[in-house]
Amino acid sequence: MEKIDLYHKVTQWFSENMENPETELHYDTPFHLLIAVILSAQCTDKRVNIHTPLIFERFPEPADLASASFEEVYELIKSISFPNNKARHLIGMAQKLVSDFSGQVPSEPELLETLPGVGRKTANVIASVIYDKPVIAVDTHVFRVSRRIGLSDGTTVEAVEKDLTAGFAPELRPTAHHWLILHGRYVCTARKPKCQDCGLQDICREYLANNVRL
C-alpha cells in the first residue's frame, strides 16, 4: 500500500473511532500543563495527575515556582520518577519564564526548547495542545505505533517525526499525536498488543506480516 493511501485510511479510521482525543494530563493553565508534561517524562500520566493538584495550588504562577526552594519542590514530587532532576528543571523553567518571557509560556517550539527540562517532545506537546501548532510530539507510544502500522520506517524519534509531519495534513497533526499515543497506550501496547481489539488489522504492516494466510 502506498504511504499516501495508508495515511488516508489511518486518518479515516481514527476520525470515525476516536473523535475527540485529548491529553490525559490534568491542567488548568498553559503553565500548569508545562509542569505536568515535564513531570510525565518516564512516568505515567495517572501518577502525575495524583500529585499535580497540590503542586498547582502551591504554584499558581511562574513567579511562585521561580522563588521556591529545591527542598520545597522535591517534597511535592519525590514519589515521581527522577525527582531531583525534575525539581531543578521545574524551578529553572519557571525562572526563565519570568526573566525571558514575562511569565508567559511561549507558543513556538524553538522558544519552548530553551526552557530547562523541555526537550523537543515536551515543546511539541505544549505547542500543539495549547496553541494548536501543526507539530507532532513523538513519545515511545507514537514511535512504536507509527512503525508497527507502517506510517514510518524511521529508526529515530526525529525520523519518525519527519515522516508523520509529512504524512498528516497540518491541521490534523495535533489530533494525530493523540490518536497514536492513546492507541499505543491502550491497544497497541508494547507487550502483548491487543490486535484482536484493533480496527487497523487490515492495514497494519506488523500484524499482516505476522498473520500471513498460507
- Residue (of 200, 197, 209) closest to 145 by Cα position: 200
- Does 133 qualify as catalytic in the annotation? no
Q: For residue range 6-31, what is the model confidence (pLDDT) as tens digits?
A: 999 999 999 999 988 999 999 999 99
Q: For residue range 147-180, what is the model confidence (pLDDT) as tens digits?
A: 999 999 999 999 999 999 999 999 999 999 999 9
Is the pLDDT assigned to residue 1 strictly greater than 90?
Answer: no
The predicted structure's pLDDT at residue 211: 84
% of the chain beyond a pLDDT of 70 = 99
The predicted structure's pLDDT at residue 205: 95
% of the chain beyond a pLDDT of 90 = 96
How many Cβ atoms are within 10 Å of 56's Cβ, its own excluded? 17
Is the pLDDT assigned to residue 110 strictly greater than 70?
Answer: yes
In contact, 152 and 163? CB cutoff 8 Å? yes
Buried b (16+ CB within 10 A) or exposed e, 114-133: ebebbebbbbbbbbbbbbeb
Amino acid found at 95: Q
Average pLDDT over residues 58-71: 98
* Catalytically annotated residue among 45, 86, 121, 163: 121
Is the pLDDT assigned to residue 212 strictly greater than 70?
Answer: no
- Does 121 qualify as catalytic in the annotation? yes
* Catalytically annotated residue among 139, 192, 194, 197: 139
- Residue (of 141, 149, 145) closest to 209 by Cα position: 149
The three cell numbers of residue 1 are 500500500
Average pLDDT over residues 37-58: 96
The three cell numbers of residue 173 are 497533526
